[in-house]
């Protein structure tokens, strides 16, 4: 844990001007304050600022660099400030994951809306899924790779649930069935599990660099997206011996 470059805790002078993150309007205090916009003691929108700072740190320094103190530094507040808003590192990670799931859901829905041909419609969701993960690997990691998430938090639970519901719905439409909320046949469950496992597994392997070997052996310039398409559309040829 000592590898991460950091300017040390006291680098920022105790009252250095806080870099307002363009979305944290410093409130004008009622009492007189020196003209130079000294940082107000009360931030006013620290919670959101911290979440944005966390996302920045995550995509810049990776999951290993995403610490409570680093986020506090990035937001320009004391290292204990996040505690008040998230209680815990788990709390911060969970809320950030919830943000990620919402972004994720929006991206999937948008991709679906943009589809015109039936083939496009069939591939829209999986493609958007993988594309989001590639564009925001840190976020996807937080959402699916961290064991330090608290799904009992309503915001996270709801956002993740919405994601799952969207998936189940899409599978239901593919099978031209109505997927009821509280009961599934084995084949329905298998279809959902298959779709999710396939895309999630592909994404994880891709982000972990474990598909590089395969991609390198494919015809010149075959991209991951192309491989995904082939994986989803190519006929499942044989079901023979197998060991």
The candidate with the shortest Cα–Cα distance to 141, out of 47, 231, 66, is 66
Give dist(CA 237, CA 165) in Å, integer: 31
Dump the DSSP string for 72-141.
Answer: HHHHTS-TTHHHHHHSSHHHHHHHHHHHHHHHHHHHHHHHHHH--SHHHHHHHHHHHHHHHHHH-HHHHH
Rounded-to-integer distance, Cα 56 and Cα 71, Å: 9
Can you say how many angstroms the Cα of residue 110 is from the centroid of all Cα atoms in its chain?
A: 16
Shortest Å distance, C-beta 19 to a copy of itself:
28
Could you say whether residue 241 binds a copy of itself (CB under 8 A)? yes
Q: Which of residues 171-230 bind a copy of itself (CB under 8 A)?
A: 173-176, 182-187, 189-194, 196-202, 204-205, 208, 210-211, 213-215, 217-219, 222, 226-227, 230
Shortest Cβ 46–a copy of itself spacing (Å): 24
Tokens 């948008």 belong to: 110
Residue 218 DSSP class = S
* 19 binding partner (options a copy of itself, DNA, none; Cβ < 5 to 8 Å by kind): none
- DSSP label of 20: -
We find the least distance from the C-beta atom of residue 175 to a copy of itself, in angstroms, to be 5
Catalogue the E-assigned strands of the chain: none
Q: Which is nearer to a copy of itself, 53 or 206 (CB)?
A: 206
- Contact residues for 65 (Cβ-Cβ < 8 A; gap 6+): 4, 57, 58
Interface residue with a copy of itself, options 124, 133, 142, 156 (CB under 8 A):
124
Is residue 11 within the footprint of a copy of itself (CB under 8 A)?
no
Shortest CB 29 distance to DNA, Å: 4
Under the binding rule (CB under 8 A), the answer on residue 170 touching a copy of itself is yes
Q: Which residues bind DNA (CB under 7 A)?
A: 1-4, 6, 8-9, 14-15, 27, 29-31, 33, 39-44, 46-47, 67-70, 72, 77-81, 83-85, 88-90
Residues that bind a copy of itself (CB under 8 A): 62-64, 112, 115, 118, 121-125, 141, 144-145, 147-148, 164, 170, 173-176, 182-187, 189-194, 196-202, 204-205, 208, 210-211, 213-215, 217-219, 222, 226-227, 230-231, 234, 236-243
């Amino acid at each position: 844990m000592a590898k991460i470059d950091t300017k040390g805790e006291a680098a920022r002078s105790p009252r250095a001007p806080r870099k307002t993150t363009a979305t944290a309007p410093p409130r004008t205090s009622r009492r007189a304050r020196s003209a130079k916009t000294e940082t107000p003691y009360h931030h006013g929108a620290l919670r959101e600022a911290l979440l944005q700072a966390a996302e920045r740190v995550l995509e810049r320094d990776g999951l290993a660099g995403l610490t409570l103190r680093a986020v506090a530094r990035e937001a320009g507040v004391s290292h204990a400030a996040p505690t008040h808003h998230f209680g815990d590192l788990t709390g911060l990670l969970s809320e950030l994951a919830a943000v990620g799931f919402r972004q994720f859901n929006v991206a999937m829905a948008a991709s679906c809306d943009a589809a015109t041909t039936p083939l496009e419609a069939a591939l829209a969701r999986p493609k958007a899924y993988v594309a989001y993960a590639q564009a925001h690997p840190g976020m996807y990691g937080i959402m699916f790779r961290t064991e330090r998430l608290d799904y009992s938090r309503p915001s996270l639970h709801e956002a993740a649930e919405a994601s799952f519901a969207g998936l189940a719905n899409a599978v239901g439409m593919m099978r031209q069935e109505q997927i009821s909320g509280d009961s599934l046949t084995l084949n329905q469950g298998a279809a959902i599990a298959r779709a999710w496992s396939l895309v999630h597994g592909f994404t994880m392997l891709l982000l972990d660099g474990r598909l590089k070997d395969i991609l390198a052996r494919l015809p010149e310039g075959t991209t991951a997206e192309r491989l995904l398409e082939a994986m989803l559309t190519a006929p499942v040829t044989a079901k023979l011996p197998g060991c």
